[in-house]
Homo-oligomer: A and B are copies of this chain.
Amino acid sequence: MMEFIVNNDFFKKAILEMSKVVSPKAPLPILTGIKIVAMKDCVTLIGSNSDIVIEKVLRNTISRVKVVDVYKTGSTVVSAKLLHDIVKKFPRNIRLTANDDHLVTMESDEIITTLNGFNPDEYPPLPKVAHDHYVSVPSKDLLDIAKQTVFAVSKNEAKPILTGVHLAFQKNYLSCVATDSHRLSFRKLKITSNLQRSCIVPSKAFRELITIIGSDSTTPIDIVITDHNVVFKSLFTTLYSRLIEGNYPSVSGLLQQEHKTIMTLNTTKLLNGVDRACIFASERRNHTIHFEVKGNSNFIISSNSTEVGKIEETQKLNSISGETELNISLDGSFLIDTLKVIKEEEVRLSFSGSMRPVLIEPVGNDLHTYLISPVRSY
């Protein structure tokens, strides 16, 4: 038995977020559902897919608004898709009850709906995680880090390690690395940590972190790492993810190079220019874009496709030092991914030769580093 009344606005938002996580194609039918647990002072929602588990808590009162009123504690599991379809179409607060036969009834105004639920005892238990060793990170910083690294992970499942983001907690730093071996994103964050360890977090978990925790948290996010799991815990939402097992490659050597040419450009203008050049850069040829320096202050971005056409544009360099002869081809989509997550107005590109990786850094921020390997264009 279970019975509670819930504020429809809060319930709708929570169910929407949960139903995006829960896969309707889960092999076990019960995993297509959301587990609803009514306790004395809150209602908890649990949903999962093959990579992560999300737990969301609706407390009795949130920001002085009455959110839930629990009459009988208990639990049930209901199809996430149905729950979402119903809740978004219900006009007002909902009375939700479940009986011993797992029949779930939802009432709102003159509307009554009855659903066949699942036996909540058959829902797999949450991973057990002791919350005694954790690092607290401001949520805004954690979300920035996630966005600024996760795009660079490998999409190739053949090397599972590279499909995740490597997190390393040191005494004064959290460092994050993602690479697909053609490009790399390295991001550091100053923190105070009593945890000294590292792990590889699946990119899906990092992406969910951005969408789910990002929408609810202004408070810090606690990170707990166990042997097989990582947990991100914000005020109302907890995300559990399995870890990817294995040893992440060391990348420090890649970041130390001698540079022949160093130049700075406006970030947005460069992004727009590369984006335009990509019109003619096909995926089949690695979105190849050509870059050239001409006459000491002109940066020429071009691409061409013999069948379709070509494009060329000239941008003014803000500064250039070193050799002013430069001719290199890069994957335009990699450069776009990188420039999109750089918030700083100016960006520095450091070149070591036409077959060596290009270093990309925001000017005035030494905590980001991006590397992109050139493509052979002949």
Does A41 reach chain B (CB closer than 8 Å)?
A: no
Q: In angstroms, how far is the closest chain B Cβ from the Cβ of A51?
A: 27
Residues of B within 8 A of A110 (CB): 313-315
Does A111 reach chain B (CB closer than 8 Å)?
A: yes
Q: How many A residues have CB within 8 A of the partner chain?
A: 31
User: A84-119: contact bitstring with B at CB < 8 Å (1 yes, 0 no)?
Assistant: 011001110000000000001000011111111000
Does A254 reach chain B (CB closer than 8 Å)?
A: no
Max chain B C-beta neighbours (<10 A), residue from A109, A276, A307, A315 = A276
User: A294-334: contact bitstring with B at CB < 8 Å (1 yes, 0 no)?
Assistant: 00000000000001111111110000000000000000000
Does A272 reach chain B (CB closer than 8 Å)?
A: yes
Q: How far is the CA of A110 from the CA of B314 in the complex (A)?
A: 5
Residues of B within 8 A of A113 (CB): 276, 279-280, 309-312
Does A82 reach chain B (CB closer than 8 Å)?
A: yes
Give A310's nearest chain B residue, CB to CB: B114
Partner of A313, one of B111, B114, B115, B276: B111
Max chain B C-beta neighbours (<10 A), residue from A79, A115, A314 = A115
Does A222 reach chain B (CB closer than 8 Å)?
A: no
Give A116's nearest chain B residue, CB to CB: B309
Chain A interface residues toward B at CB < 8 A: 79, 82, 85-86, 89-91, 104, 109-116, 272-273, 275-276, 279-280, 307-315
